[in-house]
Structure 1
Amino acid sequence: MAARIVPAKRDPIRPAPANPIVISIDGDPVAGIEGQTIAGVVLASGRLAWRRTSVDGRPRGLFCGIGVCFDCIVTVNGERDVRACQRRAGDGDVVSSQHDELPEAAR
């Protein structure tokens, strides 16, 4: 399933014109629309993963989409452990991927 944006003229819920925004994801500018979550902006750009697991380094992105899991955590404007599915993107936000190594005792 591909992410898509419903044109404002055809949106039955909110027919107001869309206000474009630009956020930075790992240094790359990504366009979005005001009101989208960070995860929505990232997925609409075609990127499916933005975090790696601590144990095996496996890619993770959006899993539950409702803030229950922690697969979509990112750093936003210097604030760590932000759930991308819960945070609305703001124009100029700086988003960074997170990858935390396991503590030595857990290895």
Structure 2
Amino acid sequence: MSAAREEGTVPLHWQGRELAARPGQSVAAALLENGVRSWRRTRRGGRPRGLFCGIGACYDCLVRLDGGPEVRACLVPVSPGLRVDPGGAVPEHDPCEQDPTRRPPERDAVQHPTEEDA
């Protein structure tokens, strides 16, 4: 499908471009059909990701819909005018490495009784 919408298609907006999608088609299928092969990057290494399993078992196809939280593109059907943005906008490094206050508190080691305690 090309960016020019065909009869019976619905508009889908990907990063400011209007794409054509078929009613009932998943967001992932619509992106693939319009030539978009990857729509997020991995946390480490920034490698491109797109559709992997296509059945909702993995999280490679995460996107943001209409500015909301990330969802799996393979599970969500298109709706007219849906705005789709890349998912996985996550810093390459763990934010806890730069802000130690975000780490969970250390737990005390379990002290097992010894013979001296008896």
What TM-score, normalized by structure 2, do the two folds share? 0.71
The reply on whether 1:91 has 2:83 as its aligned counterpart is no
Which protein, 1 or 2, shows the higher relative CO under an 8 Å CA cutoff with sep ≥ 6? 1
Q: Which has the higher strand share?
A: 1
Uncovered stretches (5+) of structure 2, i.e. residues with no partner: 2-6, 99-118
Q: Aligned-pair distance for 1:46?
A: 1.0
For the aligned residue pairs, the C-alpha RMSD in angstroms reads 1.8
Instruction: Supply the distance in 2 between the matched residues of 1:43 and 1:106 (Cα, whole angstroms).
Output: 36
1:54 counterpart SS class: coil
Uncovered stretches (5+) of structure 1, i.e. residues with no partner: 5-17
Q: Aligned-pair distance for 1:91?
A: 0.7
The reply on whether 1:52 has 2:41 as its aligned counterpart is yes
Code of the aligned partner of 2:96: A
Matched residues, percent identical?
36
Instruction: Supply the distance in 2 between the matched residues of 1:80 and 1:95 (Cα, whole angstroms).
Output: 11
Q: Aligned-pair distance for 1:106?
A: 5.3
Aligned residues: 91
1:78 counterpart SS class: coil
Code of the aligned partner of 2:28: A
